Amino acid sequence: MKINSVKENHYSPNYLKKALYDKLDSIYTSKELAKIFNRNYIWIQEILSELKREGKVKYTRVKDKIFWARNDIIEKFLLNQKLDLLKAFNSVKTITKLTENINLGPKAVRRRLRALAKENLVRNKNQRWKLTSKGKKLICGIDEAGKKV
């Protein structure tokens, strides 16, 4: 009698960790990575959290999905998201219209606006959000030193 079993490839120590880090040159969910490496996504998440503790990778959450990538990739992604929000905010003034333009929920938009207010890119005055001069310069592509971004 033959027993059917699930056989996984056995990698050398730290191979999966190194391979995961090399693969994270773009943004993936842990389930996508699990399919790529033919592993359980919980095991992949454990390795990703270990890489995060070492400061090699970061994650971001977008619409109930958690995306993982290297630190520099996540920073670029967040900067692009910030710029998209500011550009949409430049033409639309209400949060309802803003949620339609950038495809985020109102709660997420408010949270991001508060984060932008901490960076002095927008300000809230009498329940109205307005771009600051720093926010306008960032939209135009000019940083604090006056150089083009």
Final residue belonging to a domain, choices 70, 91, 111? 70
Q: Please indicate, yes or no, whether residues 50 and 107 belong to a single structural domain of this protein.
A: no
Domain assignment present for residue 44? The answer is: yes
CATH number at residue 111: 1.10.10.10
Q: Please check the confidence at residue 143 and state whether its pLDDT lies above 60.
A: no
Q: Are residues 21 and 57 in the same domain?
A: yes
Q: What is the pLDDT of residues 14-68, one digit of tens each?
A: 888 999 999 999 999 999 999 998 888 899 999 999 999 999 999 988 878 899 9
Question: Is 2's pLDDT higher than 70?
Answer: no
Report the mean per-residue pLDDT for the chain. 82
Place of tokens 């998440």: 45
Backbone angles phi, psi at 59, to 5 degrees: -135, 160
Q: Which percentage of the chain shows pLDDT scores above 70?
A: 85
| Structural domain containing residue 87 | 73-140
| Total number of domains in the chain | 2
* Residues 91 and 136 reside in one and the same domain: yes
The residue with tokens 């059917």 is 4
Same structural domain, 80 and 131: yes
Per-residue model confidence (pLDDT) at position 79: 86
Distance CA 58, CA 74 (A): 7
pLDDT digits (tens, 9 = 90+) for 110-137: 888 888 889 888 888 777 778 888 888 8
Please report whether residue 5 resides in a domain.
no
Closest Cα partner for 79 from 29, 121, 131, 30? 121
Q: Are residues 133 and 88 in the same domain?
A: yes
Determine, yes or no, domain membership for 19. Answer: yes
Which pLDDT value is given to residue 94? Answer: 74
Q: Is the dihedral of CA 44, 26, 107, 49 positive or negative?
A: positive
Answer yes or no: are the C-beta atoms of 73 and 25 closer than 8 Å.
yes
